């Protein structure tokens, strides 16, 4: 034991002593899910940032930019806050970025003003996050942003009675509220609203309930992963599709890595989302080519890689505007109202909310060249976060 303790202590000392900053290196701390069930999305953070660095080099002016990665693991706010503190105090990072889960972002927010550090949120999608500090900018999406167009399309497609089925947690409840408000505002009726516990894998009883409610369309949101696949399978197997009940969802339910598992019966499922891997533009083609060059498999690409890629763009712009000095107000001002063409389409940062404005696409699952993709059919241009701004 004594030897063991010694070596562990030695390891500890070694580990804690590394990591001092030199003068002209600007460090960016990236907190993401790099292990556990959500590891794919953390990996996409890194893929996106690596792609940006590969295209633009690791220097802004004469400042070298260095990214430091920390594993947030899961929704664990206490850990995320400690990680952010460690990045700020020990690694002396000038920018924070990443963050997959909302509670983790909320935990980090109070540190920003005291430490004068901007935070680029690359996923966490609850609307209120950007209101927690003036130094937060978000490059991902919110539930409201993606759901409002879904409700409009459903109504336009002739839906009269909708059943809503969402996961029983923050974003799910956001999605339910957004859909209900918009759809009823248009003149439709919500006949059933089911909140499904996160760990559910058998959706047959829920399908039965939806069938009984007499709904002609289902709207659903579940976080991407095993449950989404189960939900779509249950929808197909229980004869709802055959019975003419339509399925409308946010893109989380039909992510590209899941499509091969859903298979041909899924063709025609509608969803609204801000990014499809198959988005047809030269920016997206270049982005995907860069990811591939970096060793990534295109079957793994998710929305977090684009959010990270655009986030890295903002960080470079901030470093350029402040010339490497710690000036969060100036840095955030420099990216407010910034406009550019992202791999997902034209985007801009809303100066009022510091949240990204972007196109939301209506897509349907289609088979192109033997491969299932989300084919973009209609575009809702320049969508804000509907919960924060009314414009």
Partner 1 sequence: MSEIVVTHVPHKRSIPFGQEAVGALSIIALGAIGYFLYPDDLAFLTRLIGIAFLVLSLDLVTGYCGVATLGHAAQFGVGAYAAGIACVRGITDPVALLAVGVFAGTIMGLISGALITRFRGLPQLVLSIAVGQLVAALANKLSWLTGGSDGLSGITPGKVFGIFNFDMYSRTAFLFSLGVLVIVFVLLQRFVRSPFGLMCRGIKDDDLRARMIGVSIYPRLVVMYGVAGAVAGIGGALTAISTGVVGLDSVSFERSAEVLVMLVLGGAGHLWGALAGTVIFMIFEHIVAAANPFHWMTLVGLLLILIVVFAPRGLIEPVLSLASRFKRKGEAA
Pick from 108, 97, 96, 100: which is nearest to 41 by CA?
100
Q: Is 90 in the site for partner 1 (CB under 8 A)?
A: yes
Q: Is 236 in the site for partner 1 (CB under 8 A)?
A: no
Q: Alpha-carbon distance 67 to 34, whole Å?
A: 14
- For partner 1, the binding residue among 21, 25, 40, 69 (CB under 8 A) is 69
Q: Is 283 in the site for partner 1 (CB under 8 A)?
A: no
Q: Is 244 in the site for partner 1 (CB under 8 A)?
A: no
Name the one range near partner 1 by CB under 8 A: 65-73, 155-163, 263-271, 312-320.
Answer: 65-73
Instruction: Decide whether 36 or 239 has the Cβ nearer to partner 1.
Output: 36
Instruction: Decide whether 142 or 374 has the Cβ nearer to partner 1.
Output: 142
200 is written with which tokens?
A: 């559910």
Q: Alpha-carbon distance 348 to 139, whole Å?
A: 9
Binding mask 101-140 for partner 1 (x = CB under 8 A): -xxx-xx-xxx--xx----------x-----x--------
- For partner 1, the binding residue among 3, 16, 264, 368 (CB under 8 A) is 16
- For partner 1, the binding residue among 70, 180, 354, 363 (CB under 8 A) is 70
Instruction: Decide whether 111 or 165 has the Cβ nearer to partner 1.
Output: 111
Pick from 91, 99, 90, 137: which is nearest to 118 by CA?
137
Name the one range near partner 1 by CB under 8 A: 55-63, 81-89, 257-265, 347-355.
Answer: 81-89
341 is written with which tokens?
A: 């063409």
Q: Is 265 in the site for partner 1 (CB under 8 A)?
A: no
What is the four-CA torsion angle of 113, 115, 119, 123, rounded to 10 degrees?
A: -90
Instruction: Decide whether 126 or 302 has the Cβ nearer to partner 1.
Output: 126
Residue 222 backbone phi and psi in degrees, to 5: -140, 150
End-to-end CA distance of the chain: 65
- For partner 1, the binding residue among 58, 64, 76, 281 (CB under 8 A) is 76
Name the one range near partner 1 by CB under 8 A: 12-20, 57-65, 210-218, 279-287.
Answer: 12-20
Residue 88 backbone phi and psi in degrees, to 5: -75, -45
Q: Whole-number minimum distance, CB 216 to partner 1, in Å? A: 30
Instruction: Decide whether 25 or 267 has the Cβ nearer to partner 1.
Output: 25
| Interaction residues for partner 1, span 41-60 (CB under 8 A) | 43
Task: Give 62: exposed, middle or buried? Use CB within 10 Å, 0-12, 13-18, 19+.
Answer: exposed
327 is written with which tokens?
A: 């000036």
Q: Whole-number minimum distance, CB 128 to partner 1, in Å? A: 8
Q: Alpha-carbon distance 133 to 108, whole Å?
A: 10
Instruction: Decide whether 173 or 338 has the Cβ nearer to partner 1.
Output: 173
- For partner 1, the binding residue among 26, 27, 34, 277 (CB under 8 A) is 34
Q: Whole-number minimum distance, CB 178 to partner 1, in Å? A: 16
Instruction: Decide whether 196 or 247 has the Cβ nearer to partner 1.
Output: 196
Q: Where are the alpha helices (DSSP H) in 161-264?
A: 170-186, 204-213, 226-237, 259-262
Q: Alpha-carbon distance 304 to 301, whole Å?
A: 8
CA 270 from centroid of its chain's CA atoms: 19
Instruction: Please list the residues that pair with 68 across neighbouring strands.
Output: 29
Q: Is 3 in the site for partner 1 (CB under 8 A)?
A: no
Name the one range near partner 1 by CB under 8 A: 68-76, 151-159, 227-235, 382-390.
Answer: 68-76
By CB under 8 A, how many residues form the interface with partner 1? 46
Strand pairing class (63-71; 25-32)? parallel
297 is written with which tokens?
A: 């498999």
What is the total residue count of the chain?
Answer: 391
Instruction: Decide whether 97 or 207 has the Cβ nearer to partner 1.
Output: 97
- Which DSSP string do the residues of 318-381 spell out, in sequence order? HHHHHTT---HHHHHHHHTT-EEEETTEEEEE-TTT-BEEEEEEEEEEEEETTEEEEEEEEEEE
Place of tokens 């982005």: 287
Residues lying near partner 1 in the complex (CB under 8 A) are found at: 1, 4-5, 8, 11-12, 15-16, 34-36, 39, 43, 69-71, 74-79, 81-82, 85-86, 88-90, 102-104, 106-107, 109-111, 114-115, 126, 132, 168-171, 173
């Amino acid at each position: 034991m004594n030897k063991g303790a010694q070596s562990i202590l030695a390891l500890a000392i070694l580990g804690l002593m590394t990591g001092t900053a030199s003068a002209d290196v600007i460090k960016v701390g990236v907190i993401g899910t790099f292990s556990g069930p959500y590891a794919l999305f953390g990996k996409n953070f890194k893929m996106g940032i690596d792609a940006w660095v590969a295209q633009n080099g690791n220097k802004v002016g004469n400042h070298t930019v260095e990214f430091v990665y920390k594993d947030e693991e899961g929704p664990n706010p206490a850990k995320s806050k400690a990680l952010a503190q460690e990045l700020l105090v020990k690694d002396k990072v000038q920018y924070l970025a990443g963050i997959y889960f909302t509670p983790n972002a909320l935990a980090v927010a109070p540190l920003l003003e005291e430490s004068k550090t901007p935070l680029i949120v690359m996923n966490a999608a609850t609307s209120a996050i950007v209101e927690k500090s003036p130094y937060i900018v978000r490059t991902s999406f919110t539930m409201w942003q993606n759901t409002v167009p879904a409700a409009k399309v459903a109504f336009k497609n002739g839906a009269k009675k909708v059943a809503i089925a969402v996961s029983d947690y923050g974003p799910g409840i956001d999605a339910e509220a957004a859909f209900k408000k918009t759809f009823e505002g248009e003149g439709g009726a919500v006949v059933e609203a089911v909140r499904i516990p996160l760990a559910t894998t058998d959706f047959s009883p829920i399908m039965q309930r939806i069938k009984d409610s007499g709904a002609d369309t289902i709207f659903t949101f579940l976080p991407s992963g095993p449950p989404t696949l189960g939900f779509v399978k249950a929808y197909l197997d229980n004869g709802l599709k055959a019975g003419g009940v339509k399925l409308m969802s946010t893109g989380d339910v039909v992510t590209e890595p899941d499509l091969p598992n859903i298979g041909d019966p899924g063709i025609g499922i509608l969803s609204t989302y801000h990014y499809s891997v198959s988005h047809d533009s030269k920016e997206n083609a270049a982005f995907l080519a860069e990811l591939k060059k970096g060793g990534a498999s295109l079957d793994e690409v998710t929305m977090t890689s684009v959010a990270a890629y655009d986030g890295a763009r903002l960080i470079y712009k901030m470093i350029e505007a402040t010339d490497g000095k710690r000036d969060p107000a100036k840095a955030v001002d420099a990216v407010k109202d910034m406009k550019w063409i992202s791999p997902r389409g034209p985007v801009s940062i809303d100066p009022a909310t510091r949240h990204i404005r972007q196109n939301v696409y209506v897509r349907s699952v289609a088979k192109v060249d033997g491969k299932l993709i989300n084919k973009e059919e209609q575009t809702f241009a320049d969508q804000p976060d509907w919960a924060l701004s009314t414009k």
